[in-house]
Amino acid sequence: MRKRTDLIGLKSQKTMKHFLITGGAGFIGSHLAERLLSMPDTAVTVIDNFDDFYSSSQKHANLQTISEHPHFSLIEAPITHQNYLTKILRNQHFEAIIHLAAKAGVRNSIDSTKEYYDTNVMGTLALLEVTRSLSIRKFIYASSSSVYGENPNVPWRETDTDLQPISPYASSKISGEMLGRTYAHLHGIQFLALRFFTVYGSRQRPDLAIHKFADLILNGQPIVLYGDGSTRRDYTHISDIITGIEQALQYQGAGFEAFNIASGKPVTLQKLVSSLEVALGREAIFVHREEQPGDVFQTYADLSKSQQLLGYQPTVSLEEGLREFVQWKTALPHLTL
């Protein structure tokens, strides 16, 4: 795998579009790196510290298909190391930074709030400073549906400023957006906050519901269902998310904008589990518990703004998306059946 010592050469940059992806070894980032590298004359540099939130071997596996690509580079470092990053990237010309690195996960943020703020807020600030120093004009930020929190006015619109976060993770994502808005205003950076809604598909983080449920069902263990199964999520397949990011990369408008990137078709927890049972060809065993603090009742995106300004239109149905996920999951060598 290419480390910092052999970043893409200056010569090749003149004919190439070069993108900087933070968190590029993770679930969404590795899919994005792969999609961008499949295009001609495109180079990708990933910054990732292989954070221990989940196994670094899964993250190394995520990069396997692109690790030998001649236009791929990896910088193994934390995003908070602003001076170091500015120094080693200073001779590179980037079209855009796509900032996906974060401490993700709602529940853990309740007990590890400082770590979440150090990475999600101070890390975003450090990268905005790197962006200024390197004169990068475009900053795409992975925000989250969790910023809407308990706002009851569904479907949620980006124009609705009544954000009601109920977890430190959600408030850290709002803080990142607000930093971006300020930097866009002061320094003329185009800052696009993409509010992703529950992303699933191959390489999904192991802490997320679909992946966790699949592990339990495959191992014949009970699924703990919090609440009565009527909570709803706007599950979005990874390929629609990546298309949304690509469309944001094309977007020409100036300043700060927020966009919902979702399926726009929320389903109940009950429906999700029954669809997963069909995809896996196995039945689930259930244990019911009370709802968890930090979890919202529903997520539901209005997509009219992202459709109108980005041309975003999700195409993958839940059934198709779950089939793709299960195909990946069941092909993993270490799976216990």
Ligand X SMILES: NC(=O)c1ccc[n+]([C@@H]2O[C@H](COP(=O)([O-])OP(=O)(O)OC[C@H]3O[C@@H](n4cnc5c(N)ncnc54)[C@H](O)[C@@H]3O)[C@@H](O)[C@H]2O)c1
Question: Which residue's CB comes closest to ligand X?
Answer: 26
Q: Is 101 in the site for ligand X (CB under 6 A)?
A: yes
Task: Identify residues 252-311 at the interface with ligand X (CB under 6 A).
Answer: none
Alpha-carbon torsion angle 264, 269, 271, 276, nearest 10: 100
Q: Is 312 a catalytic residue?
A: no
Q: Is 25 in the site for ligand X (CB under 6 A)?
A: yes
Is 165 a binding residue for ligand X by CB under 6 A? The answer is no
* Cα maximum dimension of the chain: 60
Cα–Cα distance between 72 and 225 in angstroms, integer?
A: 41
Rounded to an integer, what distance in angstroms lies between the CA atom of residue 37 and that of residue 40?
Answer: 7
Taking CB under 6 A as the rule, does residue 78 contact ligand X? yes
Selected catalytic residue, list 116, 148, 169, 183: 169
Helix (H) or strand (E) holding 260: strand 256-261
C-beta of 123 vs 273, nearer to ligand X: 123
255: left (phi over 0), alpha (psi -120 to 50) or beta: left
Among 49, 92, 231, 243, binds ligand X (CB under 6 A): 49
Q: Which is nearer to ligand X, 13 or 58 (CB)?
A: 58
User: Is residue 155 a contact residue for ligand X (CB under 6 A)?
Assistant: no
The footprint of ligand X on residues 116-145 (CB under 6 A) is 119, 123, 142, 144
Choices 195-203, 223-231, 248-256, 283-291; region in contact with ligand X by CB under 6 A? 195-203
Instruction: Tell me how far, at minimum, the Cβ of 252 lies from ligand X, in Å.
Output: 24
Residue 195: CB atoms within 10 A of its CB come to 24
Q: Judged by CB, which is closer to ligand X: 143, or 275? A: 143
What is the DSSP secondary-structure string of 217-231? HHTTPEEEEETTS--
Closest CA to 71 of 127, 27, 20, 29: 20
Cβ 126 to ligand X shortest distance, Å: 9
**Cα distance between residue 114 and residue 329, in whole Å:** 33
Structure tokens at 11: 């010569």
Residues catalogued as catalytic: 169
Residue numbers at the binding site for ligand X (CB under 6 A):
23, 25-29, 47-51, 53, 59, 78-80, 100-104, 119, 123, 142, 144, 196, 198-199, 205
